[in-house]
């Protein structure tokens, strides 16, 4: 379908319309939460928010790029995609294949079929997938099991007090427990924080977040480290009962032993709004497999359609992460506005299916709008970053950044 909308990014997918739709969902939810206020978005803010990592500067420096063993790797019969930015995932590749450098990884995988190479890495605890075409993915058991699933689902389980309306930030007084990592979940909770919520992020000390990744979505949050294996009672019985929202970004059912699945949380605190993010959805053979935006792109056919010069490609921005984070935030904000309790579920795979199903973009010229950034203080020096993708009464919603793991695991 051709039209006269400007294109912000090259490629075979209408990422512009995909991004705009997700931000429009947020705008509508915030307008519901703040009646009588002007809630808007601009093309420059939408485009910048989806390319936020590209615009990020921390005390003048760009964030760390992809780790050497992350990326596309050629096998004997195709390609795999790996994700090794976290040290424990890089270590899993070493255990699986004996590779400690990118050159060694290329050599090891070049001697193996793609499925065998990816399976070895996954069995060792790493992150990898075969790069499939859309047709090949459509025949995969997990694709068949989840083909009819919606990108975002909402289950209302009860009522809770609606957020009050007024002239301040719409979510002032709302407490959000943030148990997420990487981009989709943190983008969601940063938006909630910049709308006035008190957001407390909890990470495991044994596997901390990458600092630059934390900073990229840390506006307005507090961050604490806590080992759930030793302190799950503090979270379940100390933090959850005083929370209004809990956002989960770990594999489905992986938090069951701590009493922190959506069903357990709702039973423990009936008035909660729970947001649950996953890579592959809540059921099917890959439901409990970890994944990232880049991995879902590679598995689902997006990378194959972005191929150039015989090599798989990727979307120009991490659109699955940001769109899913914003869609989740929109549903959570809407429930708070209406005084509803319940569970919102969203997956990166659902985002991939939605994007794959959109009409092709026009062939017009490509030119991104001017970058929309702000400068905020942080313990790491001034941070130039993109604020959340909406304006409230014509103003952006940026807030300062606090130190990673610098807070106590307690509400103010």
Name the token pair of 30.
Answer: 């915030």
Rounded percentage of the chain residues whose pLDDT exceeds 90: 94
Asked if residue 305 belongs to a domain, the reply is no
Given CA atoms 29, 31, 32, 34 in this order, what sign does their dihedral have?
Answer: positive
pLDDT tens digit sequence for 383-392: 999 999 999 9
pLDDT band at residue 362 using 50, 70 and 90 as cut-offs:
confident
Domain range for 155: 15-64+149-282+315-392
Residues 124 and 238 in one domain: no
Asked if residue 410 belongs to a domain, the reply is no
Residues 135 and 233 in one domain: no
CATH number at residue 254: 3.40.50.10540
Residues 42 and 81 in one domain: no
15-33 vs 43-50: helix crossing angle, rounded to 10 = 110
Q: How many CA atoms lie within 13 A of 196 on its CB side?
A: 17
pLDDT tens digit sequence for 19-52: 999 999 999 999 999 999 999 999 999 999 999 9
213 Cβ neighbours under 8 A, 6+ residues apart: 63, 85, 182, 183, 186
Pairing of strands 273-278, 245-248: parallel
Name the token pair of 362.
Answer: 């026009």
pLDDT tens digit sequence for 213-235: 999 999 999 999 999 988 999 99
Is residue 3 scored above 70 in pLDDT? no
Whether the predicted model's global pTM rises above the 0.95 cut: yes
Residues 91 and 52 in one domain: no
**What is the three-class DSSP state of 359?**
coil
What mean pLDDT comes out for the span 86-107?
Answer: 98
Residues 131 and 107 in one domain: yes
Residues 96 and 213 in one domain: no
Asked if residue 221 belongs to a domain, the reply is yes
- What is the C-alpha separation between 319 and 38, in angstroms, rounded? 26
Domain end point (choices 112, 145, 178):
145
Provide the number of structural domains found in the chain: 2
pLDDT tens digit sequence for 53-89: 999 999 999 999 899 999 999 999 999 999 999 999 9
Residues 99 and 123 in one domain: yes
Residues 162 and 177 in one domain: yes
Which of the 8 DSSP states describes residue 131? -
Residues 138 and 265 in one domain: no
pLDDT band at residue 364 using 50, 70 and 90 as cut-offs:
confident
- Is residue 192 a contact partner of residue 386, using CB atoms and an 8 Å limit? no
pLDDT band at residue 202 using 50, 70 and 90 as cut-offs:
very high
The residue among 269, 322, 285 whose CA lies nearest residue 51 is 322
Rg (CA), the chain: 21
Name the token pair of 26.
Answer: 């947020």
Asked if residue 298 belongs to a domain, the reply is no
Residues 164 and 87 in one domain: no
Rounded percentage of the chain residues whose pLDDT exceeds 70: 99
pLDDT at 365: 80
Residues 175 and 220 in one domain: yes
Asked if residue 335 belongs to a domain, the reply is yes
Is residue 370 scored above 80 in pLDDT? yes
């Amino acid at each position: 379908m051709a039209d006269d909308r400007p294109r912000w990014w090259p490629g075979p997918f209408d990422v512009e319309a995909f991004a705009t739709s997700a931000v429009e969902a947020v705008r509508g939810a915030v307008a519901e939460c703040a009646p009588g206020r002007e809630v808007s978005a601009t093309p420059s803010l939408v485009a910048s928010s989806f390319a936020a990592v590209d615009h990020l500067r921390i005390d003048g420096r760009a964030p760390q790029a992809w780790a050497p063993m992350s990326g596309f790797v050629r096998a004997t019969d195709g390609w795999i995609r790996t994700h090794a930015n976290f040290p424990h995932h890089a270590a899993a590749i070493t255990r699986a294949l004996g590779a400690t450098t990118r050159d060694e990884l290329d050599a090891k995988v070049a001697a193996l079929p793609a499925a065998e190479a990816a399976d070895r890495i996954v069995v060792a605890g790493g992150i990898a997938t075969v790069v499939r075409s859309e047709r090949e993915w459509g025949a995969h058991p997990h694709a068949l099991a989840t083909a009819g699933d919606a990108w975002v689902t909402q289950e209302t389980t009860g009522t809770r007090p609606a957020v009050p309306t007024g002239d301040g930030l719409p979510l002032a007084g709302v407490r959000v427990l943030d148990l997420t990592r990487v981009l989709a979940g943190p983008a969601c909770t940063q938006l909630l924080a910049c709308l006035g919520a008190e957001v407390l992020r909890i990470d495991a000390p044994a596997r901390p977040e990458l600092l630059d990744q934390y900073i990229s979505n840390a506006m307005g949050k507090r961050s604490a480290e806590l080992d759930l294996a030793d302190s799950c009672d503090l979270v379940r019985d100390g933090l959850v009962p005083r929370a209004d929202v809990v956002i989960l970004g770990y594999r489905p059912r992986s938090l069951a032993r701590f009493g922190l699945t959506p069903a357990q949380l709702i039973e423990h605190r009936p008035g909660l709004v729970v947001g649950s993010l996953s890579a592959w959805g809540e059921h099917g053979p890959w439901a409990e497999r970890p994944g990232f935006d880049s991995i879902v792109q590679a598995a689902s056919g997006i990378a194959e359609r972005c191929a150039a010069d015989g090599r798989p490609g990727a979307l120009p921005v991490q659109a699955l992460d940001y769109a899913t984070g914003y869609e989740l935030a929109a549903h959570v904000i809407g429930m708070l506005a209406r005084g509803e309790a319940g569970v919102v579920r969203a997956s990166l795979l659902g985002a991939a299916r939605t994007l794959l199903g959109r009409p092709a973009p026009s062939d017009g010229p490509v030119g991104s709008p001017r970058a929309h950034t702000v400068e905020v203080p942080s313990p790491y020096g001034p941070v130039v970053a993109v604020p959340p993708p909406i304006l409230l009464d014509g103003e952006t919603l940026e807030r300062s950044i606090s130190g990673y793991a610098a807070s106590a695991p307690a509400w103010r």
